[in-house]
């Protein structure tokens, strides 16, 4: 099977010739640039190779074609041209991280010292405006800086929380098409990251790419607003959804079957010990818009729809399915009630599990290589039965994860596939 055929079989809940593998098709299934650098050294002997930072917010590294081949990857990204700080991934320049890792960053990746040893980063790389991100000294990724203006309840306008949403430009559309066509030419599966459909995604609410913000941008204030200003948030979502649907219509016609999966939303609804939203509240505020987006995709394309939601979301999974989602990620088996056997038994006929391949809270970063190997083999045996499983770690592989453990993870997948 070619990779694209393997992904299609997996999405159809058919047993593929081997386990489908993803690292890097989305910003929630990748690896820290530090981890990618060490992995390249281990697998490809690339001691002097500078990895590109494709997502400066999380400092994720590019999984290039050589590494994709070494890892047995089947799925590649179709993403927008700009980062979460608003600048394009172009005109790469050298940069050295706090730990000494030498990488490449986009030309507009401009940082200044914070005064206490950390780094500030700026929207569109413009250092003449206030920074929108901060990395503490010896850190490995940026946090959003809260840029919340005083809130006047009498003047709140949903349009203020829609600054960042608008119609796709022709250049942006061509960018998506180019990536999809490269994937098709290579016989790879492709995941479209749908622009503007992440309703209430806390990674997006601060709008780090905007030079000046309006509306509700503080994360805590936003969460409280889903109850205290429910009608305001609903009005934001209504207009956001209309814009996203218009853009989806153009993308669906332009991309066609070059894409197989639509990454719709990365809004988190779970924490370690349970959901932090009641199912009734999800059905009231989020599900109507998830239904609209998923319904459009299913009506006008053959794409399967992907939801990323960390934590213990088992009580919300029936509602995700009812909203039309086909794929669940990151499948956080270390959270309460999210045991692999339970998920596969209860929801394996309705959902593709994209992730869950190894615990990134404990086993992968802190276990021994043989523990990593055993857990990966156990998870594959559970999730891959009857198809419907794409191997990935639980969320991104973090910096300082021992490279021997990452190699053990990859070896376990390869050896399972070799025996298939």
User: Under 8 Å CB-to-CB from 270, ≥6 apart: which residues?
Assistant: 276, 309, 310, 311, 312, 313, 316, 332, 335
In a domain, 343, yes or no: yes
Cis check: omega of the bond before 330, within 30 degrees of 0: yes
Is residue 119 one of the residues assigned to a domain?
no
Which of helix, strand or coil describes residue 378? helix
Residue corresponding to tokens 């401009």 = 110
What residues have CB less than 8 Å from 285, skipping those under 6 apart?
A: 200, 226, 230, 233, 234, 237
Q: At what angle do helices 369-383 and 403-419 cross, to 10 degrees?
A: 40
Express as a percent the part of the chain with pLDDT over 90.
99
Q: How far apart are CA 330 and CA 28, in angstroms?
A: 8
Whole-number Cα distances in Å, 97 to 47, 52, 89, 241: 16, 12, 18, 38
- Can you give the CATH number for the domain in which 314 is found? 3.20.20.210
Task: Output b/e per residue, 170-200; b: 16+ Cβ within 10 A.
Answer: eebbebbbebbeebbeeebbbbbbbbbbbbb
Q: What is the pLDDT of residues 329-378, one digit of tens each?
A: 999 999 999 999 999 999 999 999 999 999 999 999 999 999 999 999 99
For residue 183, give the nearest of 3, 13, 316, 382 by alpha carbon. Answer: 3
Average pLDDT over residues 272-279: 96
- pLDDT for 420: 79
Residue-level pLDDT at 127: 98
Q: Residue 170 falls within a domain, yes or no?
A: yes
Token pair belonging to 133? 């991100």
User: Looking at the predicted structure, is the pLDDT value of residue 186 above 90?
Assistant: yes
Average predicted confidence (pLDDT) for the chain: 97
C-alpha span between 387 and 400 (Å, rounded)? 32
Confidence of residue 300 (pLDDT cuts 50, 70, 90): very high
- For 54, residues 6+ apart whose C-beta sits below 8 A from its C-beta are 30, 60, 61, 62, 83, 89
In a domain, 24, yes or no: yes
Q: What is the pLDDT of residues 320-331, one digit of tens each?
A: 999 999 999 999
Q: What pLDDT, on a 0 to 100 scale, did the predictor assign at position 252?
A: 98
Residue 110 lies in a domain: no
Is 47 inside a domain boundary? no
Residue 291 in any domain: the answer is: yes
Can you give the pLDDT at residue 40?
A: 97
255 in any annotated domain: yes
pLDDT digits (tens, 9 = 90+) for 125-141: 999 999 999 999 999 99
pLDDT given for residue 148 in this prediction: 97
Q: What's the burial of 80, exposed, middle or buried (CB within 10 Å: 0-12/13-18/19+)? A: middle
Question: Which residue range(s) make up the domain with 17?
Answer: 3-30+63-84+149-419
Q: pLDDT tier at 153 (50, 70, 90 boundaries)?
A: very high
pLDDT for position 190? 98
For the chain, the domain total comes to 1
d(CA 110, CA 84): 14
Task: Please report how many Cα atoms fall inside a 13 Å half-sphere around the Cα of residue 364, on the Cβ side.
Answer: 26
């Amino acid at each position: 099977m070619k990779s694209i055929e393997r992904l299609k079989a997996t999405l159809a809940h058919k047993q593929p010739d081997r386990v489908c593998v993803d690292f890097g098709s989305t910003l929630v299934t990748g690896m820290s640039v530090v981890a990618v650098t060490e992995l390249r050294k281990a697998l490809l002997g690339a001691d002097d190779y500078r990895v590109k930072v494709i997502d400066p917010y999380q400092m994720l590294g590019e999984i290039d074609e050589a590494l994709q081949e070494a890892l047995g990857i089947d799925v590649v990204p179709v993403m927008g041209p700009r980062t979460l700080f608003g600048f394009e991934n172009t005109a790469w320049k050298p940069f050295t991280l706090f730990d000494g890792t030498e990488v490449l960053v986009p030309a507009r990746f401009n940082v200044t010292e914070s005064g206490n040893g950390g780094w500030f980063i700026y929207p569109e790389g413009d250092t003449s405006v206030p920074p929108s991100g901060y990395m503490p000294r010896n850190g490995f990724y940026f946090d959003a800086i809260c840029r919340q203006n005083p809130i006047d309840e009498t003047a709140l306008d949903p349009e203020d929380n829609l600054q960042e949403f608008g119609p796709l430009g022709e250049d942006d559309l061509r960018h998506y098409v180019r990536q999809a066509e490269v994937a098709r030419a290579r016989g790879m599966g492709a995941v479209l990251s749908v622009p503007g459909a992440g309703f209430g995604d806390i990674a997006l609410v601060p709008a780090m790419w905007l030079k000046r913000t309006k509306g509700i941008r503080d994360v805590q204030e936003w969460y409280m607003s889903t109850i205290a200003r429910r009608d305001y948030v609903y009005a934001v979502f209504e207009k956001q959804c209309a814009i996203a649907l218009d853009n989806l219509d153009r993308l669906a016609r332009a991309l066609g079957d070059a894409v197989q999966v639509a990454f719709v939303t990365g809004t988190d609804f779970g924490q370690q010990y349970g959901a932090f939203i009641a199912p009734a509240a999800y059905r009231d505020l989020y599900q109507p818009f998830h239904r609209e987006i998923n319904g459009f995709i299913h009506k006008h394309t053959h794409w399967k729809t992907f939801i990323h939601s960390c934590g213990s979301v088992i009580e919300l999974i029936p509602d995700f399915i009812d909203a039309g989602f086909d794929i669940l990620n990151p499948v956080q088996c270390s959270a309460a009630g999210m045991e692999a056997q339970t998920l596969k038994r209860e929801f394996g006929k309705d959902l593709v599990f994209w992730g869950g391949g190894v615990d990134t809270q404990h086993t992968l970063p802190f276990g021994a290589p043989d523990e990593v190997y055993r857990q990966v083999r156990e998870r594959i045996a559970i999730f891959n039965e009857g198809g419907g499983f794409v191997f990935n770690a639980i969320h991104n592989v973090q910096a300082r994860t021992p490279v021997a453990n990452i190699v053990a993870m990859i070896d376990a997948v390869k050896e399972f596939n070799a025996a298939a």
